[in-house]
Amino acid sequence: MQEAVREVADRVLHGAVEQENGVPGVVAMATDREGNFYEGAAGKREVGKDQEMTTDTVFAIFSCTKAVTGVAVMQLVEEGEISLDDPAKEYVPEIADIQVLEGFDSDGEPRERPANTDVTVNQLMLHTAGFGYDFFNEDLLKYGEERDVPSVVTGTMASLRSTLLFDPGERWEYGANIDWVGKVVEGVRGKSLGEVFAERIFEPLGMRETAFTMSEDMRSRRATMHQRGEDGSLTPLPDFELPQNPEQHMGGHGLYGTIGDYMKFIRMVLNEGDGEHGRVLKPETAEAMAQDGLGYMKIKMLPGVIEELSNDAEFFPGMPKSWGYTFMINDEDAPTGRPAGELGWAGLPNLFYWIDRKNGLGGFWATQIFPFADPASFGGHMEFETAVYESAASAV
């Protein structure tokens, strides 16, 4: 299988770099339950520079952080420390102060009211609490401008003290929910989210190069962020870096790490909670994380409201998709070969992963490009995933 996938996957990576308006550089890996059977890198860490992209390059993984936070929450549930049905205000009292946005007055002033019900931990995990992201929601963008709410990438509490877009439980809206659920973890554990991750997740998984705060060695291997222009050109953003000693560790997006480290996390899910150096979750808990929690509600397309940060984005358009704790679930077989009922998600600078428990396969495609849903990077990810499944089928 290794030989079967290497040639075709290498071709996909180099094609993504070498095509017109391609990616500056990419790292991609694929794993089974035992270990990685493909590790590849192509291109440069920064366009116009000589430093090669390598498999130990460090990335800002953005929303790939969310699943790690989800595991930290489910560990608390296992231990009986919390229930998913608990009101989040029991652990984070300030969440009770967030009101529901009803609209705007003629002068643009937001109109708000108290929520009909308390936000629960479950709703935060499922993105049904009412929180959003301003780069995916026009009302939230307008609200933030009127009330001077800072961006979530500032790592501040002020960025979370925004508004609810609807009453808790009403529908699915992707947003800052997992940042709040990270605060639930901190409230119960009495430690920062980074400390909790290090002790209870990264140590048993052997993830020694993933953290909210980079070591100097990690920073020396960091890939540069890039901005895609309207003409398709790429501009390096060498000074872009998430706050390294933030006021708040953001459970929704704050981690830096290598892709090799994240593959250990993916294998833990494939192995029902068992890590390389110890168990992280009970098998039944790992299974519970992979179940649809939305029911009749479905994931919707993410509209690119802030064009510098995201294009309109949707995985497998036209296919119904659900949400678990805290992954997207494709309800039908995907064209790449991913079976129905399996897991995946992404990070804003065009990082994408999938976890196929049925076949014992997982993979990750990583670049550092804004806006999200970049055609070259997302297309490369789809080709890479397809190549892994086709190689797996031919090896049987």
Q: Are 80 and 282 in contact (CB under 8 A)?
A: no
C-alpha–C-alpha distance, residues 136 and 174, integer Å? 8
Instruction: Please indicate whether residue 91 is annotated as part of the active site.
Output: no
Task: Give the CA count within 13 Å in the CB-facing half-sphere of 338.
Answer: 28
Instruction: Please indicate whether residue 63 is annotated as part of the active site.
Output: yes
Instruction: Please indicate whether residue 233 is annotated as part of the active site.
Output: no
Quote the radius of gyration of the chain (alpha carbons, Å): 20
Nearest to 132 by CA among 146, 152, 117, 112: 152
Q: Are 130 and 114 in contact (CB under 8 A)?
A: no
Nearest to 276 by CA among 13, 80, 33, 74: 33
**Residue 383, SS3?**
helix
The pair of structure tokens assigned to 217 is 């060695």
C-alpha–C-alpha distance, residues 66 and 219, integer Å? 22
CB neighbour list of residue 223: distance below 8 Å, 6 or more residues apart: 25, 45, 46, 53, 57, 58, 59, 368
How deeply is 48 buried, as exposed, middle or buried, from its count of CB atoms within 10 A (0-12, 13-18, 19+)? exposed
Q: Which of 66, 183, 264, 321 is catalytic?
A: 66
Q: Which of 63, 159, 310, 391 is catalytic?
A: 63
Q: Which of 38, 91, 133, 174 is catalytic?
A: 174
Active-site residue set = 63, 66, 174
